[in-house]
């Protein structure tokens, strides 16, 4: 098969992790009791902006992310954000109620229904999807399925202060596929599939655990998941005139962290399907 595409895979590493074999026991919680309203200024804690939105950084969504943040507190409280304001640079300020007596909080994004807390820790469950979507090439969107974000450790609640800065670390890895052609092709890319040979899984459950005793949050992932992930574009990516990595636009994939030895990626366009394989190693 004639290789008409050139593809680079840039990787944003995940937070260094410690593997666990089971989740801690949880105490069912409610939001009953006296609450106080706080605001969190949330930014992604990344070393480089090039991975997100082709250099523009991760932008939260003012329309859809208002109730997707969660905040656990050390009184066994589990809370959901109620409002969000997004600045032009994509950073966000969220509003959330927490227990009035809380001394530590743990912000989470995106919050799924099963957020557990007990006296020792808070546990956030995420899902890295095997089937992922992206509206257009070049834009790394917020939302579930790719991201698994928390602060690296709990934030201290201080008396008299209701505003806190939350730098969110991503526990998943983000792969950015940069596809271009030096052969003058006019294909329109519809999807990219990445399939590992040796990895146990590259998608599935990912769990972040925050210990209230000042230990940093760590993560582990469960048995669910498989070795193949596909990102499908809502609007096909036109390769006409895209002849270098400098003018290529990224396609973003959330991946369970780890190292794969041997993998393939499949590019599906409006004109055909192209499969490229290697026995080399790739670290996510």
> pLDDT digits over 31-59, tens only?
446 889 999 998 877 644 445 556 666 77
Structure tokens at 217: 């949050």
pLDDT tens for each residue of 158-168: 888 899 999 88
Residue 21 has pLDDT above 70, yes or no: no
DSSP annotation of 27: B
Decide if pLDDT at 226 tops 60. yes
User: Residue 11: how many CB atoms within 10 A of its CB?
Assistant: 15
Across residues 122-134, what is the average pLDDT?
Answer: 92
Task: Tell me how far apart the alpha carbons of residues 167 and 165 are, in angstroms, rounded to a whole number.
Answer: 7
Nearest by Cα to 169 from 155, 154, 150: 150
- Chain centroid offset of residue 275 CA: 26
pLDDT of 11 > 50? The answer is: no
What is the percent of the chain with per-residue pLDDT over 90, rounded to a whole number? 32
173-180 and 155-156 strand pairing: unpaired
Sort 35 into a burial class: Cβ within 10 Å, 0-12 / 13-18 / 19+: middle
- Mean pLDDT, the chain, whole residue set: 81
Highest mean pLDDT among 12-21, 116-125, 133-142: 133-142
pLDDT tier at 19 (50, 70, 90 boundaries)? very low
**Angstrom distance (rounded) from CA 242 to CA 105:** 46
| CB-side neighbour CA atoms (13 Å) of 157 | 22
């Amino acid at each position: 098969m004639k290789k008409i595409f050139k593809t680079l895979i840039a990787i944003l590493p995940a937070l260094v992790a410690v593997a666990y074999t089971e989740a801690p026991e949880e105490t069912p919680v409610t939001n009953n009791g006296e609450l106080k309203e706080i605001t969190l200024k949330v930014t992604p804690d990344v070393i480089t902006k090039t991975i997100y939105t082709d250099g523009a950084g991760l932008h939260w969504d003012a329309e859809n992310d208002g109730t997707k943040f969660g905040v656990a507190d050390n009184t066994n409280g589990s809370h959901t954000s109620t409002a969000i304001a997004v600045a032009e640079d994509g950073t966000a300020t969220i509003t959330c109620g927490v227990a009035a007596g809380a001394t530590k909080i743990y912000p989470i994004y995106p919050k799924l229904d099963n957020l557990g807390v007990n006296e020792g820790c808070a546990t956030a469950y995420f899902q890295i999807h095997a089937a992922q979507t992206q509206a257009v090439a070049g834009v790394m969107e917020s939302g579930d399925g790719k991201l698994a974000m928390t602060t690296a450790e709990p934030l201290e609640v201080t008396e008299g202060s209701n505003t806190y800065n939350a730098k969110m670390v991503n526990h998943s890895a983000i792969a950015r596929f940069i596809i271009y052609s030096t052969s003058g092709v006019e294909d329109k890319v519809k999807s990219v599939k990445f399939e590992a040979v040796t990895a146990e899984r590259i998608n599935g459950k990912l769990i972040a655990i925050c210990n209230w005793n000042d230990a940093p949050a760590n993560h582990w992932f469960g048995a669910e998941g498989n070795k193949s992930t596909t990102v499908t574009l809502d609007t096909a990516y036109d390769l006409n005139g895209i002849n270098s990595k400098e003018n290529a636009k990224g396609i973003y994939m959330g991946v369970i962290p780890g190292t794969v030895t041997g993998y393939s990626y499949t590019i599906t366009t409006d004109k055909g399907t192209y499969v490229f394989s290697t026995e080399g190693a790739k670290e996510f």
